[in-house]
C-alpha cells in the first residue's frame, strides 16, 4: 500500500527534485509526472516556481491555454461532477482550506436550579398521573423562587390540586401506604413509648407497638431519617411509617395526648430515683469500670428519656450549645441561646456517669475511656430538618464534661439580605465579593457570625459556571454545588495542606475556614495572586487591627497591599422581641456607658422586651449583626506599606467615612432593634482596644 502524500501547502516553497528542478506538485510526484486537470469544483492548480500562491478564498486560476471565463470541460458519463477525470492523479490536488473553528454555544443556565431533587420527582409523578401539566409545573417553579412554600402547598393554594391527589402522588412516589386516620385510635402502649414533645418535633403520631415494631403516621415522606432517629432514641427494633393528611395527623396528635400528662424534666428525675439500677442506690458505681453496668445505666429508659428531652428542648429553643458539667456536689445542665447561657433544672449528682455514657453511645464513642478527650457526632432529623450535633467529651476533676454543639442547618438563612447588614454597606460588600481575585477577610471573636456571613456570600456566588471549594474545621453546613473539605489534624489534613491540594482542583473561589499561621496565609496569598478569589476569617477586635495581625504572623506588607481587597469586622447582638417590645427612658448613667448625653438622644426612643410566651420570657428573640467594612484603597495601601500603626489606619478609615462597630450598634439601638446593654456588651471592647 502506498504511503498517502501530505496535502499541498501553498505557504511553502515547492520542493526541489534531485536535479534541482521544482517538482510540479510539490507533493512527492515523480519528476515529469503531469498534474491532474481540475474538473468543476476541483482544487486549484498548485503554484509554479516563482508564482505567488493564491490568496485564501480567491477564485482558482483558469487552466493553461483556457480563456478567462470559459466553462470547464464537461464530465464524462458516469463521472461525478467535480471529480477528477479517470486516470488522473488526485494526489497533486490541494485540499480546500479548513473552515474556521465554530465556538460551541454556551449551555443555557437552568432557570430552575433552585429546585431540589425531591420536588422534581414529585412534579414528574404529578405529571404522570395527569394531575398537573408542564406549563403549570413551570409556573409553580417560578413562584417557588420567591416563596418558602413547597410545590404541593402552592398547587393546593392555586386550586390546581386537592389534598387527596397530592397524598396519592406522594404515596406512589415513596411506595408507602395511605391511612385514613379519621376513626383511628392510637394504642396506649405506643403513645406511652413516644413522648409528646418527640411526637410534636417529628410531626408524627404513634399508632401501634407490637413485637418491638412501632408503627407511626406521618405527613412528610421525605423525613425518613426520622425513622432512624426514633429507632435510636427509643432503642427499638423497627419503625414503620404510614402516610396520612397533615390536618388529620394534627387532630390525631391532639387526641392521642389529650389525657397524657405532659412529662417534664422533674417528672423524669422522679422516675430515675424510683429505678433501683440508676437511682441513689447506684451512687457507689459512679467510679466503677464495669462495662456491663455502665451500658445498663446508659440504656435505661428514664436516662434515654432525659437526654432526648434535653436535646429536643435545645433544638426547639435554637440553642447553639448544650453543656453537661460535673462539679463536686452538683451536676449542671445549661444551654446557650442567642449567645447567653441559661441553666436548666439540675439532675441528681449521681447521674453524671449515666448521662455521659448515654451521650457517648449516641455519638458512637468509647464508653469505657474516661481518661482522654473524645469527639463525636450525632445526626438527627427533626421535623424534616437535618440537625448535626458535635459532641466533645473532656475529662475533668469530678467527671466528664460534655458539650454538644448544635448545628441546625435550618436555623440560618443563608442570604446576605437576612444577616442584618445595612443597604449601603450591603451594596459595597456585594461589589467586593464579585471581584475576580483577591482576599476578603471577615473578622471577629468566636460566635460572632463569621461563618454565616461567608456562607451567605458563597450561596450568592454559587452558580453552575463557578467552581467553589471550601476547607473548614468543621464543615458546619452542607451546600449543594460547593465542594467542602473537612480538616482532620489526626491524619495531618491541615488548612495549609488542604489549601495546597485545593489549588490543583481548578477552583474559581476558595473559602479557608481560618488563617491561623504564616503557612496558611502564604498559600492563600499565592492563590489570590494567581487569579483566585479567597474568603477567610481572622480573630481580631476590628477591621484595622487585622492588618497588624497579618504582619505579626510574618506576612510581608507588600503582599498584604497586593492581595487584600476588604476586611469586615462583625458582632452579634440580641434582637428585642417584637411581641413584648416596650419603650423606656434611659438613665444618665446608662447613656454615659455609650458616651452619650441626654441632649444627644432627645426624641429618640429606646426599647426593651418585657418577656412573653413567644420569647420564653427572655425579652429577646433571635440575633442581628453589627458590621464595619474596611475597603482597601490607595491611601490605606500606602499606609500599610509604610508600616503604619493600627491607630493610624483606624483614624484614616474614619476620615474615609467608615462606620465603626459602635456606630453600627448605635444605629441598631436607635432603630429599636436591640437594647443599650447589648450595644455596650458587644462594642465597648472596640473603643478600649
Instruction: Walk across the sheet containing 468-472 and list its strands.
Output: 483-486, 468-472, 509-512, 533-538, 438-443, 564-576, 620-631
pLDDT over threshold 70, residue 45: no
- The answer to whether residue 15 is domain-embedded is no
Residues 488 and 630 in one domain: yes
Residues 316 and 386 in one domain: yes
Residues 235 and 310 in one domain: no
Report residue 333: phi and psi, to 5°. -125, 125
Cell readout for 361 is: 453511645
| CA–CA separation, 393 and 396 (whole Å) | 10
Residues 242 and 303 in one domain: no
Query: What is the arithmetic mean of pLDDT over 565-570?
Result: 96
pLDDT over threshold 60, residue 170: yes
H helix or E strand, kind and range, residue 460:
helix 450-461
pLDDT in the model for residue 434: 94
- The answer to whether residue 223 is domain-embedded is yes
Number of neighbours of residue 625 by Cβ within 10 angstroms = 22
Report residue 603: phi and psi, to 5°. 85, -5
Helix/strand/coil for 677: helix
pLDDT in the model for residue 38: 45
Between 107 and 253, the higher pLDDT residue: 253
- The answer to whether residue 608 is domain-embedded is no
Residues 402 and 321 in one domain: yes
Query: What is the arithmetic mean of pLDDT over 156-165?
Result: 84
Residues 160 and 207 in one domain: no
CA distances from 627 to 273, 303, 449, 598 (A): 50, 44, 11, 26
Range name among 18-22, 348-352, 474-478, 597-601 with the lowest pLDDT average: 18-22
pLDDT in the model for residue 646: 93
Confidence of residue 130 (pLDDT cuts 50, 70, 90): confident
pLDDT over threshold 90, residue 425: yes
Residues 403 and 479 in one domain: no
Number of neighbours of residue 530 by Cβ within 10 angstroms = 9
Confidence of residue 114 (pLDDT cuts 50, 70, 90): low
pLDDT in the model for residue 99: 60
CATH number of the structural domain spanning residue 318 = 3.30.450.90
Residues 515 and 563 in one domain: yes
Spatial contact of 198 and 191, defined as CB atoms under 8 Å apart: no
Residues 371 and 228 in one domain: no
Spatial contact of 427 and 460, defined as CB atoms under 8 Å apart: no
Helices (H), 530-645: 544-553, 557-563, 588-592, 634-641
pLDDT in the model for residue 277: 61
Burial (0-12, 13-18, 19+ Cβ within 10 Å), 316? middle
Range name among 218-232, 466-480, 492-506, 566-580 with the lowest pLDDT average: 218-232
- The answer to whether residue 322 is domain-embedded is yes
Between 294 and 617, the higher pLDDT residue: 617
pLDDT in the model for residue 415: 84
pLDDT over threshold 80, residue 52: no
H helix or E strand, kind and range, residue 303:
helix 301-316
pLDDT digits (tens, 9 = 90+) for 365-388: 998 888 999 999 888 877 667 788
Residue ending a domain, choose from 125, 152, 174: 174
pLDDT over threshold 60, residue 645: yes
Contacts with 268 (C-beta within 8 Å, 6 or more apart), sequence order:
302, 305, 306, 309
Spatial contact of 138 and 211, defined as CB atoms under 8 Å apart: no
pLDDT in the model for residue 647: 92
Give me the number of domains the chain comprises. 4
Spatial contact of 358 and 307, defined as CB atoms under 8 Å apart: yes
Query: What is the arithmetic mean of pLDDT over 19-41?
Result: 44
- The answer to whether residue 551 is domain-embedded is yes
pLDDT digits (tens, 9 = 90+) for 76-113: 444 444 444 444 444 444 555 556 555 555 544 555 65
Spatial contact of 36 and 50, defined as CB atoms under 8 Å apart: no
pLDDT in the model for residue 154: 85
pLDDT over threshold 70, residue 23: no
Residues 636 and 495 in one domain: yes
pLDDT in the model for residue 478: 78
Highest mean pLDDT among 221-225, 260-264, 608-612: 608-612
Taking alpha carbons only, the member of 302, 414, 411 closest to residue 355 is: 302
| CA–CA separation, 604 and 238 (whole Å) | 61
pLDDT over threshold 50, residue 300: yes
| CA–CA separation, 180 and 242 (whole Å) | 10
At residue 196's C-alpha, the angle toward residues 194 and 200, to 5°, is 105
Taking alpha carbons only, the member of 547, 558, 519 closest to residue 441 is: 547
pLDDT in the model for residue 35: 42
Helix/strand/coil for 607: strand
- The answer to whether residue 245 is domain-embedded is yes
pLDDT in the model for residue 629: 96
pLDDT over threshold 80, residue 222: no
Taking alpha carbons only, the member of 117, 122, 108, 112 closest to residue 145 is: 112
Residue ending a domain, choose from 174, 196, 214: 174
Query: What is the arithmetic mean of pLDDT over 663-668?
Result: 93
| CA–CA separation, 441 and 629 (whole Å) | 10
Query: What is the arithmetic mean of pLDDT over 615-629?
Result: 90
pLDDT in the model for residue 8: 52
Residues 334 and 394 in one domain: yes
pLDDT over threshold 50, residue 58: no
Contacts with 329 (C-beta within 8 Å, 6 or more apart), sequence order:
349
Range name among 22-36, 149-163, 205-219, 625-639 with the lowest pLDDT average: 22-36
pLDDT in the model for residue 278: 62
Range name among 38-42, 292-296, 393-397, 549-553 with the lowest pLDDT average: 38-42
Confidence of residue 290 (pLDDT cuts 50, 70, 90): low
Confidence of residue 70 (pLDDT cuts 50, 70, 90): very low
Taking alpha carbons only, the member of 107, 141, 223 closest to residue 463 is: 107
Residue ending a domain, choose from 142, 174, 206: 174
Residues 478 and 563 in one domain: yes
| CA–CA separation, 643 and 649 (whole Å) | 10
Residue % of the chain over a pLDDT of 90 = 34
pLDDT in the model for residue 16: 47
| CA–CA separation, 671 and 654 (whole Å) | 22
Query: What is the arithmetic mean of pLDDT over 457-463?
Result: 91
Range of the domain at 165: 117-174
pLDDT over threshold 70, residue 40: no
- The answer to whether residue 539 is domain-embedded is yes
The CA-based dihedral angle spanning residues 582, 588, 593, 594, taken in that order and rounded to the nearest 10 degrees: 70
Residue % of the chain over a pLDDT of 70 = 78
CATH number of the structural domain spanning residue 636 = 3.40.50.300
- The answer to whether residue 502 is domain-embedded is yes
At residue 285's C-alpha, the angle toward residues 284 and 289, to 5°, is 140
CATH number of the structural domain spanning residue 208 = 3.30.300.160
CA distances from 372 to 328, 365, 396, 475 (A): 20, 11, 10, 24
Mean pLDDT over the full length of the chain: 80
Spatial contact of 612 and 577, defined as CB atoms under 8 Å apart: yes
Q: At what angle do helices 352-362 and 291-298 cross, to 10 degrees?
A: 80
pLDDT over threshold 80, residue 292: no
H helix or E strand, kind and range, residue 194:
none
pLDDT in the model for residue 437: 95
pLDDT in the model for residue 106: 52
pLDDT in the model for residue 64: 47
Amino acid at each position: 500500500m502506498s504511503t498517502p502524500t501530505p496535502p499541498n501547502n501553498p505557504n511553502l516553497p515547492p520542493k526541489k527534485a534531485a536535479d534541482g528542478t521544482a517538482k510540479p506538485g510539490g507533493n512527492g510526484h515523480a519528476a515529469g509526472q503531469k498534474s491532474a486537470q481540475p474538473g468543476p469544483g476541483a482544487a486549484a492548480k498548485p503554484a509554479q516556481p516563482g508564482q505567488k500562491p493564491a490568496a485564501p478564498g480567491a477564485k482558482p486560476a483558469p487552466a493553461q491555454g483556457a480563456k478567462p471565463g470559459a466553462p470547464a470541460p464537461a464530465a464524462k458519463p458516469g463521472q461525478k461532477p467535480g471529480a477528477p477525470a479517470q486516470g488522473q492523479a488526485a494526489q497533486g490536488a490541494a485540499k480546500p482550506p479548513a473552515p474556521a473553528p465554530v465556538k460551541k454555544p454556551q449551555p443555557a443556565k437552568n432557570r430552575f436550579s433552585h429546585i431540589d431533587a425531591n420536588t422534581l420527582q414529585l412534579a414528574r409523578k404529578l405529571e404522570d398521573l395527569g394531575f398537573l401539566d408542564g406549563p403549570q409545573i413551570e409556573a409553580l417553579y417560578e413562584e417557588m423562587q420567591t416563596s418558602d412554600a413547597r410545590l404541593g402547598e402552592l398547587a393546593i393554594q392555586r386550586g390546581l390540586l386537592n389534598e387527596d391527589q397530592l397524598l396519592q402522588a406522594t404515596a406512589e412516589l415513596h411506595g408507602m401506604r395511605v391511612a385514613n386516620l379519621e376513626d383511628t385510635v392510637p394504642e396506649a402502649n405506643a403513645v406511652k413509648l413516644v413522648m409528646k414533645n418527640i411526637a410534636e418535633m417529628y410531626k408524627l403520631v404513634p399508632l401501634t407497638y407490637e413485637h418491638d415494631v412501632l408503627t407511626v403516621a406521618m405527613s412528610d415522606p421525605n423525613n425518613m431519617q426520622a425513622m432512624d432517629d426514633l429507632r435510636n432514641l427509643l432503642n427499638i427494633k423497627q419503625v414503620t411509617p404510614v402516610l396520612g393528611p397533615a390536618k388529620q395527623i394534627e387532630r390525631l396528635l391532639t387526641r392521642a395526648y389529650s389525657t397524657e400528662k405532659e412529662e417534664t424534666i422533674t417528672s423524669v428525675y422522679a422516675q430515675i430515683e424510683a429505678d433501683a439500677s440508676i437511682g441513689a442506690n447506684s451512687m457507689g458505681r459512679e467510679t466503677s469500670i464495669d462495662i456491663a453496668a455502665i451500658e445498663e445505666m446508659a440504656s435505661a429508659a428514664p436516662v434515654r428519656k432525659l437526654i432526648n428531652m434535653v436535646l429536643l428542648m435545645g433544638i426547639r429553643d435554637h440553642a447553639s450549645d448544650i453543656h453537661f458539667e460535673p462539679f463536686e456536689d452538683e451536676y449542671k445542665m445549661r444551654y446557650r441561646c442567642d449567645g447567653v447561657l441559661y441553666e436548666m433544672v439540675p439532675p441528681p449528682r449521681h447521674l453524671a456517669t449515666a448521662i455521659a455514657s448515654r451521650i457517648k453511645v449516641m455519638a458512637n464513642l468509647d464508653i469505657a475511656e474516661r481518661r482522654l478527650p473524645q469527639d463525636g457526632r450525632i445526626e438527627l432529623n427533626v421535623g424534616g430538618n437535618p440537625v448535626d450535633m458535635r459532641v466533645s467529651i473532656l475529662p475533668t476533676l469530678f467527671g466528664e464534661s460534655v458539650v454538644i454543639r448544635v448545628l441546625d442547618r435550618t436555623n440560618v438563612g443563608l442570604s446576605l439580605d437576612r444577616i442584618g447588614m445595612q443597604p449601603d454597606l450591603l451594596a459595597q460588600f456585594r461589589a467586593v465579593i464579585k471581584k475576580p481575585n483577591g482576599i476578603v477577610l471577615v473578622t471577629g471573636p468566636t460566635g460572632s457570625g463569621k461563618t454565616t456571613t461567608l456562607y451567605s456570600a458563597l450561596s450568592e456566588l454559587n452558580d453552575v459556571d463557578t467552581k467553589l471549594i471550601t476547607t473548614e474545621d468543621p464543615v458546619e453546613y452542607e451546600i449543594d454545588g460547593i465542594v467542602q473539605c473537612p480538616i482532620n489534624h489526626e491524619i495531618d489534613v491541615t488548612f495549609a495542606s488542604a489549601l495546597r491540594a485545593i489549588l490543583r482542583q481548578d477552583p474559581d473561589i476558595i473559602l479557608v475556614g481560618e488563617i491561623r499561621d504564616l503557612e496558611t496565609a502564604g498559600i492563600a496569598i499565592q492563590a489570590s495572586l494567581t487569579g483566585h478569589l479567597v474568603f477567610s476569617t481572622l480573630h481580631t477586635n476590628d477591621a484595622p487591627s487585622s492588618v497588624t495581625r497579618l504582619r505579626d504572623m510574618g506576612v510581608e506588607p507588600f503582599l498584604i497591599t497586593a492581595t487584600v481587597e476588604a476586611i469586615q469586622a462583625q458582632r452579634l447582638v440580641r434582637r428585642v422581641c417584637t411581641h413584648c417590645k416596650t419603650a423606656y427612658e434611659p438613665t444618665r448613667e446608662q447613656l454615659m456607658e455609650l458616651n452619650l448625653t441626654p441632649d444627644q438622644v432627645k426624641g429618640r426612643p429606646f426599647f426593651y422586651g418585657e418577656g412573653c410566651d413567644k420569647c420564653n420570657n427572655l425579652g429577646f428573640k433571635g440575633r442581628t449583626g453589627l458590621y464595619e467594612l474596611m475597603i482597601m484603597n490607595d491611601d490605606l495601601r500606602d499606609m500599610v506599606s509604610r508600616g503604619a500603626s493600627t491607630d493610624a489606619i483606624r483614624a484614616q478609615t474614619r476620615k474615609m467615612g467608615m462606620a465603626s462597630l459602635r456606630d453600627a450598634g448605635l444605629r441598631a439601638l436607635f432603630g429599636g432593634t436591640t437594647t443599650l446593654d447589648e450595644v455596650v456588651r458587644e462594642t465597648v471592647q472596640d473603643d478600649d482596644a
